[in-house]
């Protein structure tokens, strides 16, 4: 059980690195889909375990909802949005990719250091699962500021949410059922609204590059 | 009464979609607000009698005490003011061809969805559900910020939804750490339940709790507009329709601040002192006031200027909570109330000014007294009030906060705060004073008030803040004292 979870947490971190290395919008939507599938798998494993041991089905239900929302619906929505606004290929990042990857490595080291220094979390053995999942959050945050396209920011936001969801699973065996459902609904609505706004940005600014959106200052 | 409070806004949203004419929509909106004010009044009475109201059958969804009821009263009263103001405001917009009945339906339903999410955030007792409700406030108001669909409005809406969603996501990480710190203490039915956390505060894990507090402060602080996470706030407040700016400044910021106060209560109870939390909150608060002081001087847009003033006042509340003495917390909560009403009045007045002159630029406006006699006077007095001039209420609460700081022998922070407030007052006067006089008024603008219900509302608010500056009603004092006891304990 622990082995599977360790392996999945490392795979999630790897998926974040792959995401950072993606050049095109289409490919980072795919990477996000892959990452969400890993999250769903993780939820499924923990769900089966809690069903076998305590007869609880709530984690399994959450897993199914994750598949529906994060693996199927949101990538579909993002692809559809992108297909409508993409009429030319532009360079999409501010720094070059090797540099971005090196910064990500530093982020992981930083998380390892911080979590190993926090007495409550480090109880003799350092909790690698938590290091990986918190790194995932910070890499998502970094991804948001490293991309120019508005869709890149949406994907970054979703990676942060994936990271938080996984952190909750590793650290506290998942949030209470109703809270988890609420969070997933919030994310769903947020992505739908952001997707609609991307259309409007494209209409008004003639591009979805966020570095062109800078009229309001000071 | 809690049932009424939470179902009325939802019912209103449903009715807006069923209604056919704009008159019906206005009636539904005002009626819903009046019912909510009555329900809130009854609940406040119940809480003045007993210490809290809890519906056990609702599980995590309904528990109110003095602290949440204060913020709730602000929400419903400003909700009522805004809905009455909106009647005249929207009618004018329709007359100028900026709005259709269908768009008005969207406006009203999003506005009530927003009020519902605010009330939900205040009535739940589970911090996780409170997080969901606060995130939902962003989602409900994002389209309201971009309501006019201009280039700048879309930019403001995009910034608003991205910055606030990410900020709030960071707060969720903090909430996870908060639960982590209580894993061995609480059983699973009590997870993230703040009354239980307060009861078991001393048993929580200290180091994890510190981490949790920092993340939650960054997250909810983003939503409360504390510097340096404030960057969405001036954009959103200036681009949203004026009644919505009112709701955001008077209601939304307080809701996020309420979340911070709840967490501060848990963390301070756990550590037994306010050293750790106090230092961070005072630093963030001073930084917010400094940011406002710097930016107010360079503003060309009067709504943006008022938005920076909101950042300033949130900073003052953060400092007051940071000092964590009974007097300073009392001052902070009182300041929350006073700032909300004063700032609402100012933002509603800008609604009238904007509709008359059709510009947000300070330099293009002159002769306000002549063109809008009542709004002009209210706006001028409101500026003095928000700058902290007696006899208005903001002065009263600022004096309480500052004297609490001096009582703690912290002359540096107290002196700095007084200096900054003086600078901000100068900034307000220097930048905005030229709006009131002057003769070079464009010919096509006709003098006279257009929004009669709106004028009544802002005049009423002016009366309210003047009275509140001279004396505090006994009920309110008792309520704030109860809330202080909840925050500080004992």
pLDDT (tens digit per residue) in A162-189: 999 999 988 888 788 889 999 999 999 9
* B65: enclosing H helix or E strand: strand B63-65
Q: Tell me the chain A residues in contact with residue B238 when contact means C-beta distances shorter than 8 Å.
A: 216
Nearest to B260, CA basis, from B307, B314, B313, B206: B314
Nearest CA in chain A to B156: A216
- The sign of the torsion formed by the CA atoms of B204, B208, B210, B215 equals negative
Judge whether A93 lies within some domain. yes
Please give the pLDDT value at position B339: 95
Residue A193 C-alpha, separation from nearest chain B C-alpha, in angstroms: 8
Q: Specify the pLDDT at position B364.
A: 87
Task: Please state the pTM of the whole predicted model.
Answer: 0.94
The answer to whether the Cβ–Cβ distance between B161 and A183 falls below 8 Å is no
Structure tokens at B490: 């004992």
Answer for the pair B44, B69: CB distance below 8 angstroms, yes or no: yes
In this structure, are residues B88 and B454 in contact, taking their beta carbons and an 8 Å threshold? yes
Domain span at A174: 2-210
User: How far apart, in whole angstroms, are the C-alpha atoms of residue B252 and residue B164?
Assistant: 12
In the block, residue with structure tokens 């007993």:
B50
C-alpha span between A155 and A147 (Å, rounded): 10
- B5-39 pLDDT, tens digit per residue, is 999 999 999 999 998 888 999 999 999 999 999 99
The pLDDT of residue A89 is above 60: no
Higher pLDDT, residue A207 or B157 = B157
**Residue A205 contacts B, CB cutoff 8 Å:** yes
Residue A215 near chain B (CB below 8 Å): yes
Across the interface, which of A137, A197, A216 has its CB nearest the CB of B161?
Answer: A197
Q: Which pLDDT belongs to residue B158?
A: 93
Min Cα–Cα distance to chain A from B66, Å: 25
Interface test with chain B among A172, A185, A212, by most B beta carbons within 10 Å: A172
The backbone torsions φ and ψ at residue A149, rounded to the nearest 5 degrees and listed phi first, read -75, 145
pLDDT of A218 > 70? The answer is no
The encoded tokens of residue B124 equal: 């739940």
- pLDDT of residue A124 exceeding 70: no
In A, residues 133-162, which contact B (CB 8 Å cutoff)? Answer: 134, 137, 141, 144, 150, 153, 157, 160-161
DSSP reduced 3-state for B322: helix
Domains in chain A, number: 1
Which pLDDT score is estimated for B117? Answer: 95
Tell me the percentage of chain B whose pLDDT exceeds 90. 71
Say yes or no for a CB contact (<8 Å) between A120 and B162. no
User: Is A217 domain-assigned?
Assistant: no
- Asked if B139's CB is within 8 angstroms of A175's CB, the reply is no
Note whether B211 contacts A118, CB cutoff 8 Å. yes
CA distance A21 to chain B (A): 22
| Chain A nearest-CA residue for B145 | A197
CB contact under 8 A, B155 and A213: yes
Angle value at C-alpha A180, between A178 and A186, nearest 5 degrees: 105
pLDDT confidence of residue B377: 92
For residues A200 and B149, the answer to whether their CB atoms sit within 8 Å is yes
A215 within some domain: no
Alpha helices in B124-248 (DSSP H): 127-145, 151-181, 194-199, 206-224, 232-239, 242-247
Does residue A21 lie in a domain region? yes
Quote the CA–CA distance of B48 and B45 in Å, as a whole number: 5
Q: Say if residues A31 and A19 touch (Cβ distance below 8 Å).
A: yes
Residues 6+ apart with CB under 8 A from B293: B312, B420, B423, B424, B427
B75: CB partners within 8 A, 6+ apart? B115, B118, B119, B122, B251, B254, B255
Q: Does the structure show a pLDDT above 70 at A135?
A: yes
> Which among A119, A161, A172 has CB closest to B180?
A172
Q: Provide the pLDDT for residue A176.
A: 85
Which of A31-40, A118-127, B139-148, B246-255 shows the lowest mean pLDDT across its residues?
Answer: A118-127
Average pLDDT of span B181-209:
86
pLDDT attached to residue A211: 73
Mean pLDDT value of segment B312-331: 95
Q: Which long-range contacts (CB under 8 A, 24 or more apart) does A158-162 make?
A: A158/A32, A158/A36, A158/A70, A158/A74, A158/A187, A158/A191, A159/A16, A159/A19, A159/A32, A159/A35, A160/B166, A160/B169, A161/A187, A161/B169, A162/A12, A162/A35, A162/A36, A162/A39, A162/A70, A162/A136
Residues of A in contact with B157 (CB under 8 A): 197
Contact B161 A176 (CB under 8 A): no
CB B13 within 8 A of CB B113: yes
pLDDT at B490: 66
Buried b (16+ CB within 10 A) or exposed e, A173-211: ebbbebbbbbbbbbbbbbbebbbebbebbbebbebbbbe
Question: Residue B243 and residue A82: Cα distance in Å, rounded?
Answer: 34
Report DSSP letters for B328-386, one per residue. HHHHHHHHHHHHHHHHHHHHHHHHHHHHHH---BGGG---HHHHSHHHHHHHHHHHHHH
For residue A201, what is the nearest residue in chain B, using CA coordinates?
B154
Test the A interface: residue of B132, B148, B192, B361 with most A CBs within 10 Å: B132
Neighbours of B445 (CB within 10 A): 12
- Token readout for B379 is 């706006």
pLDDT above 60 for B280: yes
Of all residues in chain A, the percent with pLDDT exceeding 70 is 95
Tell if the CB–CB gap between B179 and A172 is shorter than 8 Å.
yes
A194/B176 CB distance under 8 A: no
pLDDT digits (tens, 9 = 90+) for A48-66: 988 898 888 888 999 999 9
| Percentage of residues in chain B having pLDDT higher than 70 | 100
What pLDDT, on the 0 to 100 scale, is given for residue A205? Answer: 81
Q: What is the CA radius of gyration of chain A?
A: 18
Look at residue A81 and tell me whether its pLDDT is greater than 70: yes
Confidence of residue A87 (pLDDT cuts 50, 70, 90): low
Across B71-84, average pLDDT? 95
Interchain CB distance below 8 Å, A179 and B126: yes
Digit-coded pLDDT (tens) for A136-167:
999 999 999 888 888 889 999 999 999 999 99
pLDDT the model gives residue B190? 80
Size of the A and B interface in Cβ pairs below 8 Å: 126
Q: What is the pLDDT of residue A50?
A: 86
H-helix or E-strand spanning residue A199: helix A177-205
CB contacts of A113 in chain B (<8 Å) are: none
Band of residue B411 on the pLDDT scale cut at 50, 70, 90: very high
Q: What's the pLDDT band for B375 if we cut at 50, 70, 90?
A: very high
Residues 67-86, chain A: which have Cβ within 8 Å of B?
A: none
Segment B462-489, tens digit of pLDDT:
999 999 989 899 999 999 999 999 999 8
Average pLDDT on A79-89 reads 78
Report cis status (omega within 30 of 0) of the bond before B391. Answer: yes
Question: Is residue A84 a part of any domain in this protein?
Answer: yes
Cα B336 to Cα B325: distance, rounded to the nearest angstrom: 16
DSSP 3-state of B52: strand
Whether A218 is in a domain gets the answer no
Q: Which chain A residues touch B162 with a CB distance below 8 Å?
A: 144, 153, 157, 194
Side-chain-facing half-sphere of A62: CA atoms under 13 Å:
30
Contacts of B278 (CB under 8 A, 6+ apart): B322, B323, B324
Query: What pLDDT, on a 0 to 100 scale, did the predictor assign at position B218?
Result: 95
Of the candidates B421, B407, B410, the one whose C-alpha atom is nearest the C-alpha of residue B327 is B407
């Amino acid at each position: 059980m622990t082995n599977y979870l360790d392996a999945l947490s490392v795979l999630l971190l790897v998926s974040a690195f792959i995401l950072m290395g993606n050049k095109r919008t289409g490919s980072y939507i795919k990477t996000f889909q892959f990452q969400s599938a890993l999250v769903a798998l993780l939820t499924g494993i923990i769900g089966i375990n809690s069903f076998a041991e305590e007869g609880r089905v709530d984690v399994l239900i959450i897993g199914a909802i994750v598949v529906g929302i994060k693996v199927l619906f949101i990538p579909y929505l993002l692809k559809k949005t992108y297909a409508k606004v993409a009429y030319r290929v532009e360079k999409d990042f501010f720094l070059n990719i090797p540099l971005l990857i090196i910064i990500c490595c530093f982020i992981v080291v930083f998380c390892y250091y911080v979590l190993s220094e926090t007495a409550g979390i480090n109880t003799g053995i350092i909790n690698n699962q938590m290091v990986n999942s918190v790194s995932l959050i910070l890499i998502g945050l970094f991804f948001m500021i490293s991309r120019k396209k508005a869709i890149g920011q949406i994907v970054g936001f979703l990676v942060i949410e994936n990271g938080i969801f996984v952190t909750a699973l590793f650290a506290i065996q998942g949030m209470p059922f109703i809270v988890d459902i609420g969070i997933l609904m919030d994310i769903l609505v947020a992505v739908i609204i952001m997707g609609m706004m991307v259309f409007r940005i494209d209409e008004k600014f003639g591009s979805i590059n966020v570095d062109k959106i800078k009229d309001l200052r000071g | 009464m809690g049932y009424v409070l939470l179902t009325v806004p939802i019912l209103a949203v449903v009715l807006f979609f069923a209604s056919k004419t704009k008159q019906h929509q206005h009636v539904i909106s005002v009626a819903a607000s009046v019912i909510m004010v009555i329900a809130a009044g009854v609940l406040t009475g119940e809480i003045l009698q007993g210490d809290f109201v809890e519906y056990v059958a609702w599980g995590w969804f309904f528990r109110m005490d003095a602290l949440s009821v204060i913020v709730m009263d602000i929400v419903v009263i400003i909700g009522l003011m805004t809905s009455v103001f909106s009647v005249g405001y929207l009618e004018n917009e329709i007359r100028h061809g900026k709005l259709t009945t269908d768009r008005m339906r969207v406006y009203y339903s999003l506005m009530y969805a927003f009020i519902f999410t605010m009330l939900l955030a205040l009535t739940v007792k589970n911090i996780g559900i409170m997080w969901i409700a606060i995130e939902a406030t962003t989602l409900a108001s994002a389209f309201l910020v971009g309501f006019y669909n201009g280039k700048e409005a879309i930019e403001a809406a995009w910034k608003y939804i991205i910055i606030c969603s990410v900020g709030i996501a960071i707060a969720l990480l903090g909430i996870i750490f908060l639960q982590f710190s209580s894993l061995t203490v609480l059983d699973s039915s009590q997870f993230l339940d703040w009354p239980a956390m307060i009861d078991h505060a001393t048993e929580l894990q200290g180091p994890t709790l510190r981490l949790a507090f920092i993340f939650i402060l960054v997250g909810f602080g983003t939503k409360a507009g504390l510097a340096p996470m404030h960057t969405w706030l001036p954009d959103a407040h200036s681009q949203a329709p004026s009644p919505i700016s009112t709701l955001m400044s008077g209601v939304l910021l307080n809701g996020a601040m309420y979340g911070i106060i709840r967490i501060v209560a848990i963390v301070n109870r756990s550590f037994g002192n306010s050293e750790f939390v106090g230092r961070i909150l005072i630093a963030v608060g001073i930084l917010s006031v400094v940011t406002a002081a710097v930016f107010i001087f360079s503003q060309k847009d009067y709504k943006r200027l008022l938005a920076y003033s909101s950042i300033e006042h949130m900073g003052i509340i953060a400092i007051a909570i940071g000092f964590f003495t009974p007097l300073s917390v009392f001052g902070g909560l009182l300041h929350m109330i006073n700032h909300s009403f004063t700032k609402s009045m100012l933002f509603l007045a800008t609604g009238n000014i904007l509709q008359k002159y059709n510009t947000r630029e300070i330099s293009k406006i002159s002769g306000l007294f002549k063109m809008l006699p009542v709004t002009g006077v209210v706006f001028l007095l409101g500026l003095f009030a928000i700058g902290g001039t007696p006899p208005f209420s903001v002065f009263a609460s600022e004096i309480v906060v500052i004297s609490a700081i001096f009582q703690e022998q912290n002359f540096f922070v107290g002196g700095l705060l007084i200096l900054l407030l003086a600078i901000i007052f100068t900034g307000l006067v220097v930048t905005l004073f030229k709006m009131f006089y002057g003769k070079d008024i464009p010919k096509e603008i006709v003098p006279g008030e257009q929004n009669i219900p709106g004028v009544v509302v802002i005049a009423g608010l002016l009366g309210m803040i003047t009275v509140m500056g001279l004396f505090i009603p006994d009920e309110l004092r008792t309520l704030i004292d109860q809330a202080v006891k909840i925050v500080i304990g004992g």
